[in-house]
Chain A
Amino acid sequence: MTPTPTVPSTTVPPPFPARPRRRRRPLAAVALLAVAALTAACSNSTDSSGGSGGGGNQTLSGDCARYQPYAGHGGTTVTVFASILSPESDNLEKSWADFSRCTGIRISYEGSNDFESQLPVRVSGGNAPDFAIVPQPGLLAQMVKSGKVVKPPQQTVANQEKWSPVWKTYGSVNGTFYAAPMSANMKSLVWYSPKTFKQAGYEVPKTWADLMALSDRIAKAGGGAKPWCGGISSGTATGWPATDWLEEVVLGTYGGEVYDQWVNHQVKFSDPKIAAAMRTVADWMQNPAWVNGGYGDVKSIATTTFQDAGAPILTGKCLMLQQASFYKAQWPKDTKIGPDGDIFAFHLPAVDPSVPNPVEGGGEFLTAFASRPEVQAVQNYLSSADWASSRVRTATGWVSANQGVDKSLYTDPIDRLSADALTDPAATFRFDGSDLMPAAVGAGQEWKSLTAWFAEGQSIQKTGRGARRRAPPRGGGARPPPPPPPAPSSRLLPPARFHRPRGFAAAVRRVPSFGSARLPVALVPGIPASW
């Protein structure tokens, strides 16, 4: 490791001219500026390949024997770049510490809260990390388009069998599998207070009809409590929780196929199916008798931040909140979370009982930019159930949909709940739709239209039109081809068309108090057709 000075080191400064020229003294300050501008361009070369090379055919014994398949690359370093920051990233590093100790492969982790914009810059600048942990299929597709993503080794592909097949699709671009999922999170949860439910004699509903009946019962019981509370305010990203509600209802009403077509824009916002789903959302979250417990009327949903939304559950003014598993971070520190505690969650039932176990969520994908043997060894390890178990054991707040992970390892009840739903082979898992749509729709008009829908009571037709109307002028060379006709075989969304590094859910999960802080700078190609 040799620090290489990027500028020539100082030579002995030549003596000043004998005659002092006071008139020219101010030059110093100006020259200082000029040089500052020049030297600002200096880059750091921080790459370091530590240790002695070459492990050869080492044999691991004792504790380390289980890492034998990955042995033989001692003294090498593999770099990982991701958006996960300390302290969460410390758990990641702990989870592979044993692996590193035994195999001698050093995994150098770097987290950045500017990951989404930094990754494209680093990759196109020829400074790609060995691995990036990408939370958005859109960003993965963009990276694949750059031609720098390396296909996974055979073992990683085989490890993928432990995840339900839909995950492979989200890790694939144009039908080619590139990135193995590392983690999964679940959005289809309803937070409630088991204590309050018990006192009032309410049962956790198992079907949508039960849920609606329960809501009605709570509303009629009076006592100042309303069944639901909600908040969709989130800075520039205001509206995203409302898109989740719509997505849950679309997925739960029509199943995965229509959901994919909708995200894929084969079913439009103006479609009667989506309009019907919006009516379902309106009957649920815009029912004046049902919302917004502890805050006010329906419109107050638009001004309540999503972080605050669930607080009235603790005081009994509101009984339920639909929010993702990462909402756990919003409860006060001393809140007892569990089936018998102050707060717990249940799986949002399907609107149509014939849709098996709909789960909306997100995940993170391990994307490789190098094919060195040690990189592949790490890739194989991180895609294995062994690593997933190791990470689950390290600390709570991490769920894998890998069916090889022993569920008794989950010590946190919410993690366990999510894992049960995510690993259910019969579950209909789908990725958060607004994360998959092009930014102009998913992050632009859909957020805005749904916010206006809540804030101004805009009609469903107009909201649907608004969300659809946002098609910018199109044409041009670099534009992707128009969407393929709905082929019967490709039921799942090919995310390749969209190059939108967003993944709001992932961002929010990490920065619970300021979700909109991370705005990537990459550009999005046009939208193929009118949304």
Chain B
Amino acid sequence: MSLAAGAWGDAMVKFGNGLGAIAGFVGILLLVFLVAGRASGRIARPLAVLVLLGPALVLLLVGLVAPLVRTVYLSLYSDDSSRFVGGENFGWAFTTGSVREVLVNTLLWLVIAPLAATGLGLVLALLVDRMRGQAVYKSLIFMPMAISLVGASIIFKFVYESRDHSQRQIGLLSQLAIWLGWDDPPNWMLAQPLNTFLLMAVMVWVQTGFAMVVLSAAIKAIPDEVTEAARLDGAQGLRLFRHITVPMIRTTVVVVLTTVMITTLKAFDIVRTMTGGNFGTQVLANEMYSQSFVQFNTGRGSALAVILFLAVLPLVAYNILQLRKERAVR
């Protein structure tokens, strides 16, 4: 078969190229290794710094700084990047009704989803901690973390699926509602503003396991002496929790909260999979994608990306500070 022969030839060329690349890679590697190894005396230390830090810096520069600068640049230009428009795109983002709705939704996500996930995680951590066979429960609750957000969204899309009340329901939520005596439950995905919260439930479902595991570890790390001392002083139950447990794991709670927050800000998959940003559920990350790659308005898409970046920035900074603090404590 000429077709098969062609495919084989193609594969062989690619294979040869691959081998060549690996060989060249090993060669250069050995060279760098040799040079760095030979160096001694005054240049040894700067060279080591360069070889160790250089690649990371180059990757950061190429993968993070350059796109960042370019995105900021593009956000100041028109839809096809041909004309400088200054802050027009940002003005559009903050004054257009539909985009304002997007910003409000994003804010709702930002506040509710991380709080719910962390709170639920904390409660579960406390409850599961006292159960026998806690490893089993913990892995079960942690399991959704292993599912991608798109996968989780598809699962919940089936849960929220709705049929007319005269038809047989195929969505779990509608059927439950009917069993509970609600004759005509709404079409969940269309019920504004409920649908935004239903989407958040997916995020909470996925992230709760993560919060629980991390918080559970932190609770276990509280020295027994401290709890014992508190018990001897008469603290129990809620008081023990409020005055001992929470202060002792405060930094961990904050780190978990901010981590989930950052994930939430970037939540794009859930909205895209479940509603495509329709029915008033649009969030910033999805609108940015839609502007850039569906409507090809690079200027507006970039402006939204910059807004998103600025919103994440303080969270990341705070997160890192907290992480450092936590490390310093231990």
Question: Which A residues are closer than 8 A to B by beta carbons?
Answer: 1, 3, 5-11, 13-14, 16-17, 21, 24, 26-28, 30-39, 42, 44-46, 48, 50, 93, 100, 106, 108, 224, 233-239, 294-297, 299-300, 302-303, 317, 439-440, 443-445, 448, 451-452, 455-456, 470, 472-479, 500, 519-526
With A303-B189, A439-B296 already in contact, the answer to whether A28 and B29 are too (CB < 8 A) is: yes
Chain B, 135-146, contact with A by CB distance < 8 Å: what is the 0/1 string?
000000000000
Contacting pair A440 B297 (CB below 8 A): yes
Contacting A at CB under 8 A, from B285-310, are: 289-290, 293-300
Find A44's partner among B17, B38, B279, B296 (CB 8 Å cutoff). B17
* B46 lies within 8 A of chain A by Cβ: no
Q: Which residues of A contact B164 (CB under 8 A)?
A: 295-297, 300
Interface centre among B6, B29, B166, B277 (most CB of A within 10 A): B29
The chain B residue sitting closest to A93, CB to CB, is B3
The chain A residue sitting closest to B63, CB to CB, is A37
Contacting pair B166 A224 (CB below 8 A): yes
Contacting pair A439 B294 (CB below 8 A): yes
Contacting A at CB under 8 A, from B130-179, are: 162-164, 166-167
Distance between B52 CB and nearest chain A CB, rounded to angstroms: 5
Q: Which residues of B contact A478 (CB under 8 A)?
A: 80, 82
Contacting pair A444 B80 (CB below 8 A): no
What are 10 A-B contacts with C-beta separation under 8 Å?
A3-B13, A30-B51, A31-B29, A32-B25, A39-B21, A235-B273, A295-B167, A297-B164, A445-B295, A472-B297
Q: Which residues of B contact A38 (CB under 8 A)?
A: 25, 28
Contacting pair A473 B162 (CB below 8 A): no
Contacting pair A473 B85 (CB below 8 A): yes
Find A238's partner among B25, B54, B59, B276 (CB 8 Å cutoff). B276
With A27-B36, A476-B82 already in contact, the answer to whether A9 and B13 are too (CB < 8 A) is: no
With A3-B13, A300-B187, A303-B162 already in contact, the answer to whether A523 and B24 are too (CB < 8 A) is: no
Contacting pair B2 A236 (CB below 8 A): no
Find A48's partner among B9, B275, B295 (CB 8 Å cutoff). B9
The chain A residue sitting closest to B279, CB to CB, is A455
Q: Which residues of A contact B278 (CB under 8 A)?
A: 238-239, 302, 448, 451-452, 455
Contacting pair A7 B24 (CB below 8 A): yes
The 3 closest A-B CB pairs, nearest first, are A7-B24, A296-B164, A476-B83
Q: Which residues of A contact B294 (CB under 8 A)?
A: 236-237, 439, 443-444, 519
Complex Cα–Cα for A36 and B58 (A): 12
Complex Cα–Cα for A434 and B36 (A): 60
Contacting pair B21 A6 (CB below 8 A): yes
With A30-B55, A439-B295, A479-B80 already in contact, the answer to whether A35 and B17 are too (CB < 8 A) is: no
Find B290's partner among A236, A299, A520 (CB 8 Å cutoff). A236
Find B17's partner among A8, A37, A45, A523 (CB 8 Å cutoff). A45
Contacting pair A522 B296 (CB below 8 A): yes
The chain B residue sitting closest to A500, CB to CB, is B296
Chain B residues touching A, range: 35 or more
Contacting pair A48 B13 (CB below 8 A): yes
Distance between B1 CB and nearest chain A CB, rounded to angstroms: 10
Distance between A109 CB and nearest chain B CB, rounded to angstroms: 8
Q: Which residues of B contact A34 (CB under 8 A)?
A: 32, 54-55, 58
Q: Which residues of B contact A448 (CB under 8 A)?
A: 278
Complex Cα–Cα for A475 and B6 (A): 49
With A440-B295, A472-B300, A478-B80 already in contact, the answer to whether A42 and B37 are too (CB < 8 A) is: no
Q: Which residues of B contact A477 (CB under 8 A)?
A: 82-83
Q: Which residues of A contact B54 (CB under 8 A)?
A: 30, 34
Contacting pair A26 B52 (CB below 8 A): yes
Q: Which residues of B contact A479 (CB under 8 A)?
A: 80, 82
The chain A residue sitting closest to B17, CB to CB, is A44
* B111 lies within 8 A of chain A by Cβ: no
Contacting pair A296 B163 (CB below 8 A): yes
* B247 lies within 8 A of chain A by Cβ: no
Contacting pair B10 A6 (CB below 8 A): no
Contacting pair A106 B296 (CB below 8 A): no
Contacting pair B80 A37 (CB below 8 A): no
Q: Which residues of A contact B51 (CB under 8 A)?
A: 27, 30-31
The chain A residue sitting closest to B51, CB to CB, is A27
Q: Which residues of B contact A451 (CB under 8 A)?
A: 278-279
With A34-B58, A299-B190 already in contact, the answer to whether A48 and B80 are too (CB < 8 A) is: no
Q: Which residues of A contact B27 (CB under 8 A)?
A: 7-11, 13
Contacting pair B295 A35 (CB below 8 A): no
Q: Which residues of A contact B24 (CB under 8 A)?
A: 5, 7-10, 35, 39
Q: Which residues of B contact A234 (CB under 8 A)?
A: 276
Distance between B201 CB and nearest chain A CB, rounded to angstroms: 17
Interface centre among A13, A33, A35 (most CB of B within 10 A): A35
